[in-house]
Amino acid sequence: MDSQAVRWAMVRKLEAQGVSHPAVLAAMRTVERHRFVDSALANQAYEDTSLPIGLGQTISKPNVVARMCELLCQGSREKLGRVLEIGTGCGYQAAVLSHLAREVYSIERLRGLHDKARENLRGMRLSNLHLLFGDGMLGYPKGAPYAAIIAAAGGNDIPDAWIEQLAVGGRLVAPAVTGSDRQNLVVVDKTATGVVRTVLEAVLFVPLKSGVA
């Protein structure tokens, strides 16, 4: 599949939808989304839709990936430092993040998806990307503190472990159930005096679960 033309068309749509961060747009142009979905779905890879990746999980819509990455990078033209991703899934967002950060740790609780992501990413030689198998609700203390944390699953609240592992000056972007009993995108900024939460638009992500399987 010669995906460059359709991938660039996808990015033009993202720009029309309001995504403007140059590094995010460049990463979305670079990473070939069709490599992360089943071959039967490859012709839908550059549509703005989520697609099944097995084990009841999905690959997020390109607009959602770009939006969350842009929130992480907001206000900075420099590369992010060390980033923790909760929920590797098929590995697509991890690949995008690898172009935006100096180092990425991505953790997945489902062994089948962890293995699939490793296979999907094998040929890309992204030396700054580390795939981990484990319980994402616990974060990854060994790599902390993180300049940014991003999650691809939403729970009733942001786990305390994630906030503890976020560096002062760092930012966390994750879906969470808010007071309206709806899932919304939540931004947490950690300052020297505490944390500041900002609730953004409604979203629909798979539920955040503990343990491994």
- Sorted by sequence, the CB contacts under 8 Å of residue 22 that are 6+ apart come out as 77
With a cut of 70, list the residues of the chain below it in pLDDT.
1-2
pLDDT at 4 (0 to 100)? 92
Q: What is the SS3 assignment for 81?
A: strand
* Interval 123-140: pLDDT, tens: 999 999 999 999 999 999
Contact 107, 88 (CB under 8 A): yes
Q: What is the per-residue pLDDT for 180?
A: 74
State the catalytic residues. Answer: 60
**DSSP secondary structure code for residue 155 in this structure:** B
Q: Specify if 28 maps to a domain.
A: yes
Return the closest-CA partner of residue 97 out of 130, 50, 123, 52.
130
CA–CA separation, 57 and 53 (whole Å): 6
Q: How far apart are CA 192 and CA 207, in angstroms?
A: 31
Domain holding 49: CATH number?
3.40.50.150
Contact between 137 and 159 (Cβ < 8 Å) = yes
- Which ranges in 74-202 belong to alpha helices (H)? 92-98, 111-121, 160-165
Residue 213 in any domain: the answer is no
Look at residue 141 and tell me if it is in a domain: yes
**Is residue 209 included in any domain, yes or no?**
no
Cα(178)–Cα(130) distance, rounded to whole angstroms? Answer: 31
Q: To the nearest whole percent, how much of the chain has pLDDT over 90?
A: 93
Structural domain tally of the chain?
Answer: 1
pLDDT of residue 1: 55
Name the burial class of residue 29, with classes exposed (0-12), middle (13-18) and buried (19+) by CB atoms within 10 angstroms of its CB: middle
pLDDT at 181: 81
Segment 184-210, tens digit of pLDDT: 999 999 999 999 999 999 999 999 999
Residue-range definition of the domain harbouring residue 181: 4-202
Within a domain: residue 177? Answer: yes
Sequence length of the chain is 213
The predicted pLDDT at position 147 comes to 98
